[in-house]
Structure formats: structure tokens, C-alpha cells
Amino acid sequence: MMKSWMRVGAVVVGGAALVVSPLAAQAAPVKSGQPYTHLLTSKDWSTGGAYVAQGGDVTLQLSTLPKATEVLIEECDSGRDLGDGHVFTKQASTQKLATDVPKGTCFVMLLHPKSGNGGYSVKGTLSY
């Protein structure tokens, strides 16, 4: 049995009413941040993943950071740096890696231990 449909409709199925909202109201906003994990295995630079920018700033917040780690991002196609390299430490665990990155720009994260060897993981949140 259907009730009237205005902005929100209701359908009774087996005695239980199901409330249905318009599709636009159900659509989740695009998330531009995600959990981030990377294993550094040596003292050399390693690729920490490729991403497509949603437009705006690229920020990395590391909640697990055993050693000081340098991070930078480059454009996928050209290899052009999108920002300066940043050293993440326990005191500086959140940093903006690039500003005003155009929507649709592919970028690669690059990481390496600031000193010593790898053999550790970093974890946190990447917003782009």
C-alpha cells in the first residue's frame, strides 16, 4: 500500500513502514580523505601511492610515526613537484604537502626515512 509521495514517501510492507527519501538526499558527499598506511623498507625514496586530487590542498596527518620521515608529492605525468618536501616528526605530524592542486590532477606520494634505514610503517589520514 502506498501513501502519498511528496518529498518523502512511505511504503507499508508486511506491516512495517519503509521510509524512502529522494535519491539526491541519499547521495553521500565525495570523501576526499582516506586512511593512509605505508611501509618504508629501506633508506631510499619509495612510492606511497598514486591519487587523483579532488581540488584544493593535499594534507597528510600521521598518527603512527616511529621515525622522522620526509614526504613530498609529484605530478604523475611530468614528475613536477607539487609542493616542497616536508619532514614529519612526532611534533610535526600534520602538514600541508601542496596547496591549490587542480581537480583531476594525478599525484604520487614519495617517502623516505630522514635518517637511518626503513623497516617501519607510517599510518594516518591523507586528505586531497
- pLDDT-above-70 percentage for the chain: 75
In terms of residue numbers, what domain contains 57? 33-127
Q: What is the pLDDT of residue 20?
A: 42
For 23-56, write each residue's pLDDT tens digit: 444 444 455 679 999 999 999 999 999 999 999 9
SS in 3 state form for the chain?
CECCCCCCEEEEECCEEEEECCHHHHCCCCCCEEEEEEEECCCCCEEEEEEECCCEEEEEEEEECCCCEEEEEEECCCCCECCCCEEECCCCCEEEEEEEECCCCEEEEEEEECCCCCCEEEEEEEEC
Q: How many domains does the chain have?
A: 1
Q: What is the CATH number of the domain that holds 85?
A: 2.60.120.380
The answer to whether position 112 is within a domain reads: yes
- What is this structure's pTM? 0.72
